Amino acid sequence: MANLINGKEIAANVREKVRLEALELKNRTGIIPGLAVILVGDDPASKIYVNNKKKACAEAGFNSFEHLLPASASQDELIALIDSLNADPSVHGILCQLPLPGHIDERAVINAISPEKDVDAFHPVNVGKIMIGSYDFLPCTPAGIMELIHSTGISVSGKKCTVVGRSNIVGKPMAMLLLHENGTVTVCHSKTADLAAECRSADILVAAVGKAKLITADMVKEGAIVIDVGTNRNSDGKLCGDVDFAEVEKKASYITPVPGGVGPMTIATLMRNTLTAAELASKK
């Protein structure tokens, strides 16, 4: 039976450390980290995420700036708002909640955010820095996952790591972070010829595709570390991940639950990135 990786507990420790470091920064420089969150439209899930980020800012002693735009807002209006936030010295991090309405080009919006305030680490400049291993910020979910893996006490170095999913937000940067720690990395996707075989070879398996219970017990190596990034609803409307938790738990050595695994780490890492941005701004 697998050991449960408690994302809530690990995230709480990260957030407390961030709170103390933010207080030290304020006492030393007078700077209070500030995070601006932009929400376009009224997607219910996005609203929940935004509220969670607001609560996390309050807990960390950060300033929180919320900007709500109607779904009908134009791309030019959104980019004008971003330009004003780029120029605002009280804002150290800018996060535009995705997905955006179909008439807005997400890439143009991401590119408009100053790399120095891009606490999601989505801007091409920051992506490039991650590629070469010389970065200021790491994407929140992959960085949070690395913390979860580290909590097991098992080194990534030399391990066979399989990432299922190749999104720009999770899959690709996840592969890069594992590679930076000397993992031997395979990235799987919808065109992978034998997904089960690739997964079975993994010492560390990260599932990030958004398909409920895609990863079954017969696809998991005995004793593997299994990280479930998926957030799905099953036929009963219950939250579940990409991994068949009940069955895979019997084979894995460590496993993350859904909810309570990766999710809390994403917001904790966002707080840490915002603190980093404020610290960098204090040195200018």
Listed as own residue / partner, the contacts of 76-81 with beta carbons closer than 8 Å and 24 or more positions apart are 78/38, 78/40, 78/104, 78/109, 79/108, 79/109, 79/112, 81/38
Find the length of the chain. Answer: 284
Catalytic residue among 43, 55, 75, 97: 97
Q: Is 129 noted as a catalytic residue in this protein?
A: no
Q: Is 221 noted as a catalytic residue in this protein?
A: no
CA distance linking residue 81 with residue 119, whole number of Å:
17
Q: Is 203 noted as a catalytic residue in this protein?
A: no
- The token pair at 115 is 């790399």
CA distance linking residue 284 with residue 280, whole number of Å:
7
Nearest to 166 by CA among 144, 123, 195, 196: 195
CA distance linking residue 1 with residue 140, whole number of Å:
29
Catalytic residue among 117, 118, 120, 244: 120
- The token pair at 86 is 């780029």
Catalytic residue among 8, 42, 47, 53: 53
**To 5 degrees, how large is the angle CA 148–CA 122–CA 127?**
85
Q: Which residues belong to the active site?
A: 53, 97, 120
